């Protein structure tokens, strides 16, 4: 027991000064050492929730020895055995959960007090210097030990006046989450009316000369709690502060996401649906090129095989980086011969019926089905119709695409019509048979390809369907993007500039350009989007950044 540290803590409280502390839930004693080095007034080691065992608890206590940081242990229950054990290994006090009545509080204080006033047994452990300081320790322990009950139920609030009259404790802590649960709002930090209950109970305790504590949820809340009259202020939980820092850093790079209770990351769709907007884009993502809107036929035209024409929409000609996209038209019966690339390729059929052969694996696809082929896999494409053309959207993870013709026999195998990824090979997505997700209001998306679906893939992309009013939030990317409008008419807003797009018009959005798409028509609008990055990551920003040029990139 660090008597001097306890007395200094009490002196600060008596002079109406705040005392700041950290709630420790992680096992590394280095966390407690950091708190001590930063001069925190107190730490609470949480032995009620989480995984800490007694060996880890004593290591935390040791990390604060010979310091002015008071060490409390929050116990799993109001138990004389647990109170005795925590104090015997050197804790300066105990935090008692779920105290609801004066009798419960009196029992906890008795368990922390030596006879004749209490029932605490004398042990030959750290508190008594392993039996070498019985007399010294027992002479000072009762007057200094801290017993801190937690008010965390509606019943405790109802009994707060009786609790305030119990001698032997001068500090009370509040647990808003459990209090909310007992008030009928499980899972909320402060449910409706709970904030008022806490403040009312705090006022009763302060009037009785007691001091009150609570954990803050962030910096602003910390200031608010101090202004409300709380003196024992928790700056946060160690794990919570770590996560807060991680969220902030990840958000600055467009990588933030919300955790799931199952600890699963089902796909990047989940992350997109739960982003947190930031006020402005980071300066290091300031773009060096403007957006380019491309109508059909406005870019290079190339006959890549007899009856097969490539209309390049995004590529080296408009300064795209690591990305080429366009439209490929097959006359009836046309065949693109077997070939391979040193980069990934995505093939999405827009009109007609086609056969895609990947090293002998045959896939028959219809409109808006996609086949994505990683680098170095031989493949060929055939228009199955002898009467009508076929139209494809293609994307390649290169701004300077080239191909190598392949003259090799592959054993034929007709593949079932089911969305699948061949191990180490291609991925096929049948649009009507795959789940969709929503990255924005009235919008439904499907991921065709990315690094999660095809590990090692250099690009990502998919299909998006927008109903009337459907839109995406204002956002930007850390890579170039191609967006082809394959149905209806879209409005594209880029830093105050508005564009109307339809009939396979394709936008090149360079890295860093803040933009969004919206369907302002009664009819559906759909797009094929491709990112020159392996995962569909974006940084969502304040709406004004997309509609006011001066806000987007202030000078």
DSSP assignments along 305-372, one per residue:
ETTEEEEEEESGGGT-SS-EEEEEEE-TT-EEEEEE-SS-EEEEEEES-EEEEETTEEEEE-TT-EEE
Tokens encoding 199 = 């403040």
| Separation between Cα atoms, residue 159 and residue 3, nearest integer Å | 31
Q: Are 484 and 443 in contact (CB under 8 A)?
A: no
365 burial (CB, 10 Å; 0-12 / 13-18 / 19+) is buried
| Separation between Cα atoms, residue 159 and residue 203, nearest integer Å | 13
| Residue 410 phi, psi dihedral angles, 5° rounding | -125, 135
* Cα 109–chain centre separation: 42
Reported as type and span, the H/E element at residue 25 is none
**Exposure pattern of 463-478 as b/e (b: 16+ CB <10 Å)?**
bbbbeeebbbbbbbbb
66 burial (CB, 10 Å; 0-12 / 13-18 / 19+) is exposed
Looking up tokens 């950290």 gives: 22
CA distances from 298 to 111, 268, 322, 490 (A): 84, 33, 20, 19
CA distances from 325 to 39, 351, 491, 518 (A): 58, 17, 20, 22
| Separation between Cα atoms, residue 70 and residue 44, nearest integer Å | 8
Active site residues: 49
Looking up tokens 């006022």 gives: 203
DSSP assignments along 409-462, one per residue:
----EEPPSS-EE-TTS-EEE-GGGS--B-SSTTEEEEEEE-TTTSTT-S-EEE
Q: Are 58 and 91 in contact (CB under 8 A)?
A: no
Give yes or no for a cis peptide into 336 (omega within 30° of 0): no
**Of 507, 528, 496, 512, which Cα lies nearest the Cα of 254?**
512
Strand order in the sheet with 308-314: 301-305, 308-314, 324-330, 390-396, 345-351, 370-373, 427-429, 420-421
Q: Are 339 and 378 in contact (CB under 8 A)?
A: yes
Tokens encoding 78 = 């109001």
**Of 154, 167, 197, 48, which Cα lies nearest the Cα of 102?**
167
């Amino acid at each position: 027991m660090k008597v001097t540290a306890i007395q200094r803590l009490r002196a600060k409280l008596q002079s109406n000064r705040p005392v700041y502390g950290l709630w420790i839930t992680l096992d590394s004693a280095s966390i407690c050492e950091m708190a001590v080095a930063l001069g925190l007034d107190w730490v609470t080691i949480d032995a009620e929730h989480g995984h800490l065992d007694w060996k880890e608890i004593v290591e935390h206590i040791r990390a604060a020895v010979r310091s002015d940081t008071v060490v409390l242990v929050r116990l799993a229950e109001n138990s004389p055995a647990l109170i005795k054990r925590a104090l015997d290994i050197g804790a300066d006090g105990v935090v008692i959960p779920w105290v609801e009545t004066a009798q419960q509080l009196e029992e906890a204080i008795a368990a922390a007090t030596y006879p004749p006033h209490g029932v605490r047994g004398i042990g030959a452990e750290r508190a008594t210097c392993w039996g070498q300081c019985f007399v010294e320790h027992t002479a000072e322990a009762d007057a200094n030990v801290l017993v801190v009950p937690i008010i965390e139920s509606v019943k405790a609030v109802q009994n707060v006046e009786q609790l305030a009259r119990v001698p032997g404790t001068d500090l009370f802590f509040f647990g808003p989450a459990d209090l909310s649960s007992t008030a009928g709002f499980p899972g909320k930090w402060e449910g409706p009316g709970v904030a008022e209950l806490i403040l009312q109970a705090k006022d009763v305790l302060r009037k009785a000369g007691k001091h009150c504590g609570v954990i803050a949820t962030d910096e602003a809340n910390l200031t608010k709690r101090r202004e409300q009259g709380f003196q024992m202020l928790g700056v946060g939980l160690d794990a919570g502060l770590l996560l807060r820092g991680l969220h902030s850093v990840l958000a600055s790079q467009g990588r933030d996401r919300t955790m799931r209770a199952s600890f699963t990351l089902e796909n990047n769709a989940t992350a997109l649906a739960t982003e947190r907007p930031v006020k402005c884009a980071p300066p290091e993502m300031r773009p060096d090129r403007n957006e380019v809107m491309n109508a059909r036929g406005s870019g290079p035209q190339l006959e890549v095989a007899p009856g097969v024409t490539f209309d390049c929409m995004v590529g080296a000609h408009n300064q795209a980086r690591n990305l080429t996209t366009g439209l490929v038209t097959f006359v009836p019966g046309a065949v693109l011969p077997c070939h391979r690339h040193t980069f990934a390729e995505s093939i999405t059929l827009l009109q007609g019926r086609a056969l895609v052969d990947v090293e002998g694996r045959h896939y028959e696809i219809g409109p808006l089905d996609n086949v994505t082929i990683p680098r170095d896999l031989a493949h060929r494409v055939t228009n199955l119709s002898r009467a009508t053309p076929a139209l494809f959207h293609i994307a390649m993870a290169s701004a300077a695409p080239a191909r190598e013709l392949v003259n090799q026999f592959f054993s034929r195998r007709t593949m079932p019509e089911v969305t699948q990824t061949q191990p180490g090979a291609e991925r096929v997505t049948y649009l009507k048979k795959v789940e969709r997700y929503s990255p924005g209001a009235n919008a439904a998306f499907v991921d065709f390809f990315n690094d999660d679906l095809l590990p090692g893939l250099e690009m990502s992309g998919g299909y998006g369907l927008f109903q009337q009013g459907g839109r995406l939030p204002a956002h930007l990317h850390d890579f170039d993007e191609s967006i082809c409008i394959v149905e209806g008419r879209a409005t594209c807003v880029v830093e105050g500039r508005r564009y109307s797009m339809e009939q396979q018009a394709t936008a090149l959005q360079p890295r860093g350009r803040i933009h969004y798409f919206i369907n302002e028509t009664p009819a559906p609008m759909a797009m094929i989007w491709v990112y020159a990055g392996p995962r569909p990551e974006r940084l969502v920003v304040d709406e004004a950044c997309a509609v006011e040029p001066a806000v987007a990139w202030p000078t």
